[in-house]
Amino acid sequence: MENNVNKSVCFFDSGIGGLNLLSKCVGIMPRTDFTYFADNYRVPYGAMSKDELIERADQIFGEIEKLSPSAAVVACNTVTAQCIDYLRGKYSFEILGIQPAVKPAIADGGRCLVLATPATAESASLKQLIDKLGARNITVAACDKLAAYIEKNIGNFDTKEVKAMLPRFKAESVVLGCTHYIFVKEIIKDFYNCPVYDGIDGTATNLKRILGISDHPSSRAQKISFIGGDEAKNRRVFGMLLKQSGSLSRL
């Protein structure tokens, strides 16, 4: 019997960034129900201290625990970098995080630039990832205003304003270390004129593998719920992402 019926997964992000990952997972896991926890009114997380991040993430995960999920996904690079070990140590359900896609980026060779929030850029987690891969010629740059700009201006980006927030650097590859940055991926790609990587596909595939979900379509309606933050905004942006991917809205 297939282990892919009635699965439920909770997502958590500071705001709209994690919706990029949610929309990907919804598309490849039609038998799974999803609940998205957001904290839009406290964006950006990248400026918070580790203690502040752990306190807030713990509050959210206390609510997630009440839903008895099959798994939970920290769809925020900052919370993954600073809090994932704490959360896994406290909660008994499966918890996945999202990491910058450094591995495929360094396969291209040459200079690699990782764009991240200040909290992610300064984290031991990112340093350990780079060291583990034996990656050389990598520069990590903190973009302290970009996530907040994206959250505030979703759907109305000014290309010049976005590019003004990016560090000038000659790169052969760029890694997006924040799920918010994916919304301006094409602007970043144009600015650096090189391949740009994010961790969406890898994280979604890993979640599907852990849950043991097959590719068979579902005959029942998929449930997508939104809790916390600006729920109306999150629904609207999620619907926009589904439309862009060619999926039917499940809201």
Cα(135)–Cα(100) distance, integer angstroms: 13
DSSP string, the chain: --S-SSEEEEEEESSSTTHHHHHHHHHH-TTEEEEEEE-GGG--GGGS-HHHHHHHHHHHHHHHHTT--SEEEE--HHHHHHHHHHHHHH--SEEEE----HHHHHTT-S-EEEEE-HHHHT-HHHHHHHHHTT--SEEEEE-TTHHHHHHHHTT---HHHHHHTSPP---SEEEEESGGGGGGHHHHHHHHTS-EE-SHHHHHHHHHHHHT--S---SSPPPEEEESS-HHHHHHHHHHHHHHHTPPP--
Catalytic (active-site) positions: 76, 178
Are the C-beta atoms of 85 and 58 separated by less than 8 Å?
A: no
